[in-house]
Amino acid sequence: MFLMETKRILIVLVGALLNAIALNLFLIGANVYASGFTGIAQLISTIFSDFFNIDFISTGILLFILNIPVAILGWFKVGKGFTIYSFLSVLFTTVILEILPIYNLSDDIMLNAVFGGVIAGVGIGITLKWGASTGGSDIIAMVLSRIKDKPIGSYLMLINGFIIVFAGLINEPENALYTLLTLYVTTRVIDTIHTRHEKLTAMIVTKKADEMQKEIHNTMVRGITILPAKGAYTKVDKNMLMLVITRYELYDLERIIGEVDPEAFTNIVQTTGVFGFFRRE
């Protein structure tokens, strides 16, 4: 358990490092904006710098300040473990942004947009894969999705649309287009590393159904259907647990299965819709 949590923290740290590299070496210098609260922090920093000549309020500091109320919201509405690791990601990103100098590796805005998007996508993707997020918009979108039962992606798109519009207003219109390119590249990379599906159905065939059910319910509040199952070749009696989760809970589910029954057969499939009761609290 200790080794798993240590590895999780290290992965979050690597993700934060990649996000900071994408920002300070590619995006900030080119006035191309990242997704979510990171992009909003960039916008506010640009406004302070260009319109008020205030240069000491950096993107990193603004990112940290913006995420404080979001972390409080996430603690009560999303989950303590997820929120802690997400806030760690924000904290690591802020520290690295303050240490790493802003330096343009290329003067080509397209190269900056593409490579910044790829590196940021890898950082966000591995962070999500290990049960955390980069904070900000992810947590707000999750809370709104649970209240309204609308896809998380629609809220993230709304936030990113705001960033694209303001990128064009406070800079040149082409900055908005390159920001759109960065967001597209980032999203595609995240989808490749993690999953683009917001709800997933897990079907777990195991000999330890009771222990598995108990551990899952100790970690997440999800309904579970338990069905009898028999191996066609071995003729061994087992049980199949079927439950619907969000993509943010996938890491915890994989960890539980590995700890309770490493020999369990698990099939994770896309869930395009849920009818009836699906707990959103």
Residue ranges per domain, the chain? Answer: 2-193, 199-270
Q: Is the pLDDT of residue 151 over 90?
A: no
- The answer to whether 86 touches 132, Cβ cutoff 8 Å, is yes
Q: In this predicted model, what pLDDT tens digit does every residue of 89-124 receive, in sequence order?
A: 999 999 999 999 999 899 999 999 999 999 999 998
| Confidence check: pLDDT of 162 > 80 | yes
Work out the mean pLDDT of the chain and round it to a whole number: 87
User: According to the model, what pLDDT value does residue 193 have?
Assistant: 84
Under the banding of pLDDT at 50, 70 and 90, the label for residue 146 is: low
Name the pLDDT band for 274 (thresholds 50, 70, 90): low
Residues 235-251: tens digit of each pLDDT: 899 999 999 988 778 88
d(CA 192, CA 211): 32
pLDDT band, very low/low/confident/very high, at 1 (cuts 50, 70, 90):
low
Tell me the mean pLDDT in the region 252-265.
92
- Indicate the burial class of 146 (C-beta count within 10 angstroms; 0-12, 13-18, 19 or more): middle
pLDDT of the residue at 125: 87
Angle of helix 137-148 versus helix 152-170 axis, rounded to 10: 130
Q: What is the dihedral of CA 220, 225, 228, 231, to 10 degrees?
A: -60
Q: Please check the confidence at residue 272 and state whether its pLDDT lies above 80.
A: no
Sorted by sequence, the CB contacts under 8 Å of residue 99 that are 6+ apart come out as: none
pLDDT for 182 equals 93
Residue 260 has pLDDT above 70, yes or no: yes
**Which tops the pLDDT comparison, 226 or 188?**
226
The mean pLDDT value for 70-77 works out to 85
Give the highest mean pLDDT range of 45-59, 133-147, 148-162, 192-206.
Answer: 45-59
Q: What is the DSSP string of 8-62?
A: HHHHHHHHHHHHHHHIIIIIHHHT---SHHHHHHHHHHHHHHHHH---SS-HHHH
CATH number 3.40.50.300 given to 199-270 = no
> From CA 70, how far away is CA 83, in angstroms rounded?
9
Query: Which of 77, 219, 188 lies closest to 142, judged by CA?
Result: 77
Distance in angstroms (rounded) separating the CA atoms of residues 215 and 213: 6
Per-residue pLDDT for 257 more than 80? yes
Mean pLDDT value across residues 265-278: 76
Whether the CB-CB separation of 146 and 281 falls below 8 Å is answered with yes
pLDDT band at 8 (very low <50, low <70, confident <90, very high): confident
Q: Is the pLDDT of residue 15 over 90?
A: yes
| Percentage of the residues of the chain whose pLDDT score is greater than 90 | 50
149 pLDDT band, cuts 50/70/90, is: low
